[in-house]
Structures are given as structure tokens and as C-alpha cells.
Amino acid sequence: MSGATEGVQLEEQIARWREYLRRNRAIDSPDVAELEDHLRNQVGELSSAGLTGDEAFLIAVKRLGSLDALSLEFGREHTERLWKQLVLPTDADQSRAQVHEMLVVLVLAVAAAVAIKLPGLFGLGFNQNENFYARNLSLFVLPILTGYFAWKRRLDAVTCVWLSLAFVGAGLLANVYPFSRHSDTLELTALHMPIALWLVVGIAYVGGHWSANGGRMNFVRFSGELFIYYVLIALGGGVLTAFTMMMFKAIGLQAGWLASDWLVPCGGVAAVIVGSWLVEAKQSVIENMAPVLTKLFTPLFTLVLLAFLATMVLTGRAISVERDVLIAFDVLLALVVALTLYAASARDVNAPPDIFDKLQLTLMVSALLVDALALAAITARISEFGFTPNRVAALGENLILLVSLAGSAWLYAQFLRHRGSFAAVEHWQIAYLPAYSVWAALVVALFPPLFGYR
């Protein structure tokens, strides 16, 4: 072996070793540089004593000590490093890109805040126009969020046009329908519009490649994390609002208008943008919270459902069919679907079935049972109640969630009996995602005319 190729080989070995070391949280990059200097000194000395590059490298690495022991010692000295922090990278190029992105996010967040205040300039204040804001709320923020991802993922012009058309269409539907003043279909529009448009955000999130491998599951992960960040930001915002009111009260001024007209609406929409950016930025830094909550709550929900079923059997009580009981079962199914989805999002597809998977199946089957009981009770009496828009929407949602859950449960059972793979479960859940948005879009587009804008 010539000296030159040996040198190249050594550099490769050191580069691999460096990469390996960098993955360790307790050892930061200046430490790696310091240890590398040590390693090179040692290798140099051993080589000049007549060892080949390979031998010298092996001995030098061995003398540094095992990585486990080393990282334990470093971790003991630098305990703070075991807490992951969101820091801007020190690398000049990278940090410039990050600062640039922060500026873009800031501008977009301000744009969302301005957008929600803009109608006020034309005499549409928050107080007298609840209906206008209810049906348009998602249109103030989701186009901007979509814009952020379009910018970040460098979407091509054609996709951008299609996505904007979706928002324009949604805006038209929400505003040209002649809803009556206290209309149920208007409430349905307000509720379903964000669900329908979330799919548009998703298409931008995956960079226009909806069917690309892994993209949709990432969007599911993103949605869960965004929800959690949003709740946290909202909590902080609540503290800020309460604090503002208290301080101004101390000098005899009522700041209620400041909170209700500015802090809450502007903060509420801006937080969606900022939260999305945080999820993107912290992706690799912090543990995903949604799967952690899933792991925590799956056993608890299973217990509650089993207890509920057992109580029904033991006491012989039937589900009392009241007017809005369907909503409760929709919520139940949605929760269980979310629990299975987020459990799947954090699961290694190739891992064999374990106890948690059995629990998951128990949860799904008991939810299906409970829902079947409720559906049986309701359909028997639906003609008695009449088909109001709310009831039809709730029934449709129930069926959609039921099919989703039944499919997951069936594939899960196959997987647990080693007749199928977990990938099939995941594939089903992912492929089913657009159904929720499509149904929501149908509710927004068809229900108002079908039910005479009641």
C-alpha cells in the first residue's frame, strides 16, 4: 500500500470516527475537535514508531477509551448538554439561512395578524360580525401557512396556482352562500372549513408530492406537534393577557379591549405560523410529544372504554338516545383514530408485535363496539328526529371514522396474528387521511344548499 492511499484511508477513518462521536449528545463539537487533535497526535507518534495507518488508528482509538465510558464522563461534567436545546447553529452559512427563515416567519406572522385586523378597517368589527369571522377564520391564517411551506419547499408554480385556487374556492363558498342569521349550516361551514383546508396545507407541507414515501406521515407528525405547540403558546398568551390586564388595572385603566381586539385575535393567528416554524426548527432537537402522550393515554382510554362496556353489560343500561349524543361518539372515534395514528407515527414499522400493539387493538375493538351500540340505537330512531344538517354531518363523520377504525383494527389483527405487516396498517391509515378532508369539503360545499341555508 502506498503512503498516499494510506493517508486517504486514515482521513476516511477519522472522518467516520468523528461522525460517530458527534452523534453523542454529551460531547459537543469543540470536544470532538479536541479529541481529534489528541487522536491525530497519537496516530502520528505510533506511525513514526513504524505502525501502519490502520494499526495506529485502532490503537489510538482504543486508548481514548470506549465511547460509552467517555460519554458518561463528559455527561457527568456537562450535565446541561443532556437537555436538548434549540440553538442556532454556529456554522456561518447555516445560521444565515436560519436567520433568513426567522425573518420570513416573522413577516408571515405579522401578515396573519394584519389579515385578521384588515376587515375591521372596512367596518367589519369583531363584535357585530361573529358570523363573518366564524366562517372565514381559517382563511386568514391557512393561506399564509401554506405560503410558508410553498416558500420553504420551493413549490413549483403550477402547484401554487392549484393551492391558491383551493383557497379562492373556499373563500367563495363561505361568502356567497346566503346563510340565514342563526344557521346550522353556517356553523357546520365554520367547523369543517379548517379540516377541509388542512389537506391543502398538507399538500404544501409535503412539497406537492402527496404520494411520496413518508411525506404524509411526516405531515401527521407535524400536525400533532403543531397542536401541542399551539396549546403551549396559547397558555403563554393567556398569562401575557392576564398580566397585561392586571398591570393596566393597577393604574386605573381597563385593557379589556386591548386583549379582545388585538392580543387574542392577532396572537391566535400569528401563533399558528410561529408554532409551525418551531415544529420545523425543533424537529430534530426535541422528542416528539404527540407519541409520548399517545403512549400515556392509550392504556387509560382503553380502561375507560372497557369499564364503560362492562357497566353497560352489568347494569343493562342502554345508550339513551338524546339529540346530540352522536357528537360524543364522533369525538370518541376521532380520539381513538388519533391515538392509533400517533402510535403508528412513532412505531418502528419492522418491529414485531408487542404488548402495546395488543393494547392498541383492544382500544380499537372496544371503541368500535361502543360506537356500534350507539349507532344501532341512533339509526333506529333517526327518522323520529328528522334529518337536520347537524345530524347528517355527525352521522357521516361517524361512518367515515368507523370505516377508518375498522380497517385499522382488521389490519392490526392480521399483523398481531403474523399474517400481515405493520406497514399495511400504516399504509391504510395514511391512504385514508384525505377522506376526512374530502368529507369536510363536501359538508362545506353541499350542505348549505341541500338544507336551504338553515
Partner 1 sequence: MDLGKDLVAASATPLVLAILAEGDSYGYAIIKRVATLSAGHLKWTDGMLYPVLHRLERQGLVSMKWGESDSGRKRKYYRITKSGRLLLVTQQQQWQVVDETLRGVWIKA
Point out which residues bind partner 1 (CB under 8 A): 30-31, 33-35, 37-38, 40-42, 63-65, 69-70, 73-74, 76-78
- CA-to-CA dists, residue 28 to 75, 154, 340, 373, angstroms: 10, 32, 37, 57
Q: Among residues 35 and 106, whose Cβ is nearest to partner 1?
A: 35
Q: How far is the CB of 40 from partner 1 (least distance, A)?
A: 7
Distance CA 309, CA 301 (A): 12
User: Do 333 and 371 form a contact (C-beta atoms < 8 A)?
Assistant: yes
| Count of residues in the chain | 454
Neighbours of 290 (CB within 10 A): 23
Distance CA 190, CA 127 (A): 17
Which residues neighbour 262 within 8 Å (Cβ) at sequence distance 6 or greater? 117
User: Can you tell me which residue has the cell 405547540?
Assistant: 229
Q: Among residues 33 and 240, whose Cβ is nearest to partner 1?
A: 33
**Residue 209 cell numbers, joined:** 408530492
Q: Among residues 72 and 212, whose Cβ is nearest to partner 1?
A: 72
Q: How far is the CB of 210 from partner 1 (least distance, A)?
A: 46
Greatest C-alpha distance within the chain: 96
Q: How far is the CB of 57 from partner 1 (least distance, A)?
A: 14
Q: Among residues 10 and 163, whose Cβ is nearest to partner 1?
A: 10
Q: Among residues 30 and 252, whose Cβ is nearest to partner 1?
A: 30
3-state secondary structure of 319: coil
Q: How far is the CB of 47 from partner 1 (least distance, A)?
A: 13
Q: Among residues 40 and 454, whose Cβ is nearest to partner 1?
A: 40
Which residues neighbour 336 within 8 Å (Cβ) at sequence distance 6 or greater? 301, 363, 364, 367, 405
Which residues neighbour 71 within 8 Å (Cβ) at sequence distance 6 or greater? 24, 25, 26, 27
Residue 347: phi and psi, rounded to 5, are -95, 145
Q: Among residues 40 and 427, whose Cβ is nearest to partner 1?
A: 40
Q: Among residues 16 and 38, whose Cβ is nearest to partner 1?
A: 38
Q: How far is the CB of 95 from partner 1 (least distance, A)?
A: 19
Neighbours of 367 (CB within 10 A): 26
**Residue 3 cell numbers, joined:** 503512503
Q: How far is the CB of 4 from partner 1 (least distance, A)?
A: 17
Q: How far is the CB of 51 from partner 1 (least distance, A)?
A: 16
Q: How far is the CB of 225 from partner 1 (least distance, A)?
A: 34
